[in-house]
Amino acid sequence: MSPSPEDDTAIKFNLPQSSANVEVASEGFTTLWSALEAETDIVFIHGLQGHAQKTWHYGALEESGRGLLRIFQSSQRQHRKHDCFWPRDLLPNDCPNSRILTYGYDSHVSHFFSGAANQTNVVGHASSLLHDLEAIRRDDPGRPIIFVAHSLGGLLLKEALRQACIQVDDDAYLRDLPLRAERDEDSLGFEGAAGGFKMIFESTVATIFLGTPHRGSELAEWGLMLQKAAKAACFDTNDTLLRDLSVDSVTLKTLITGFAGAYERKHWELYTFCEGKALHVPFLPREKVVRDVSATLGYHREHVDVINADHRAMCRFRGLHDPGYKKVKNALKACMRNQPGSIDGIKFRKALHTFEWLYSNKQLRFVDWLGSDEGLYWIKGKPASGKSTLLKKARLLLPRSWVASSEVF
């Protein structure tokens, strides 16, 4: 018997125990699901006052928190019968050959009694996103990426891709730098990260925006008023993100131009979802947080649709039969299905005889090490020179025990 819509959240993908019980970090990346040979990275980025899990968690609406703003967070405590963290509970079943990541950053305007507010702006958060993403993709930097971003998270994504696109132009300059034996480790580290940023841009095959205020939100002005009230009460606040969200802010104008240039360089799949309902906030006009004209980019190849929910609920789905989930799921599957050329081009085909020199070069003594009782074989090289790929190849081919470690120097 098929489940009723009321019970569809009870049907969740049978995840490995380690994935089902993983603790989602409030900052940085958390891996929610990873196929053994993942073909695509799906990256989730939350918005203002958001969280790497709660933003995407149906059933978390009652956790309104102590945030200063109820503009981007509903003030009503909504008790839910069902509980569904859909990027973890549902998506692996529909995108089993992927790696699913959720990214967290401090987007709170004030922590009230919990400590000082983070003063980072959109540019700073986007730079951190790039560095963290480059680090977590070092095992396979060419794996295709699909980004899913809500609200402010979409602005971070646009800025990150703008920065990565600039790195593509700078790469030619870096290649022309004279090779100097005296290069310090900082410069080598920069070159390694820069190469990773370039690969992030080249590997991007799709962006999915949910309620992103490309041209700002009028309600951000109300948020600034509330922020000033909190500041007058001696709470530490950060108005930088709110100012970035204001209609026609300098940051937004820069992003509109910069992102358009990046998109022209590489026409990836582009999906935009607008909120269908107004958000009720006490003492404020009942209206959409992000109007349709601001939520859309107006690009020729942009796929535009509406999710029948308010700004906060549009990224929380109750289960498999949720109309909003079906739309986002179908967009994700279309992005993966419609990009065979891009994916094949990005995930470089394995060349014949790759790394066979590891076995044939007697000076490396790798074969001798395999037959010995020594527990350590040291692989050393410059950043982004292929150490992780070499290790992965050896690990897949050799029938011996391995100690898991995430440290790559």
What are the boundaries of each domain within the chain? 5-346, 357-397
Assign 326 a pLDDT band (cuts: 50, 70, 90).
very high
Pick the more confident residue, 121 or 78. Answer: 121
What pLDDT sits at residue 245? 67
Architecture field, domain 5-346: 3-Layer(aba) Sandwich (3.40)
Tokens describing residue 318: 């109750």
Closest residue by Cα to residue 274 from 255, 296, 301: 296
Confidence of residue 250 (pLDDT cuts 50, 70, 90): confident
Burial class (CB in 10 A: 0-12, 13-18, 19+), 162: buried
205-229: per-residue pLDDT in tens?
A: 999 999 998 887 655 443 333 433 3
Q: What single-letter DSSP state applies at residue 287?
A: B
* Residues 355-382: tens digit of each pLDDT: 667 777 777 777 777 777 777 777 777 6
Query: What pLDDT is stored for residue 332 in this prediction?
Result: 97
* pLDDT in the model for residue 2: 41
For the residues 280-300, what does the mean pLDDT come to? 81
Q: What Å distances lie between residue 179 and 174, 175, 182, 183, 334, CA to CA?
A: 10, 9, 9, 8, 44
Predicted TM-score of the model (pTM): 0.70
Maximum CA extent, the chain: 77
Position with higher pLDDT, 22 vs 229: 22
pLDDT of residue 164: 93
Average pLDDT over residues 166-178: 56
HSE, CB side, 13 Å, CA atoms: give it for residue 321. Answer: 10
Task: Please say whether the beta carbons of 60 and 102 come within 8 A.
Answer: no
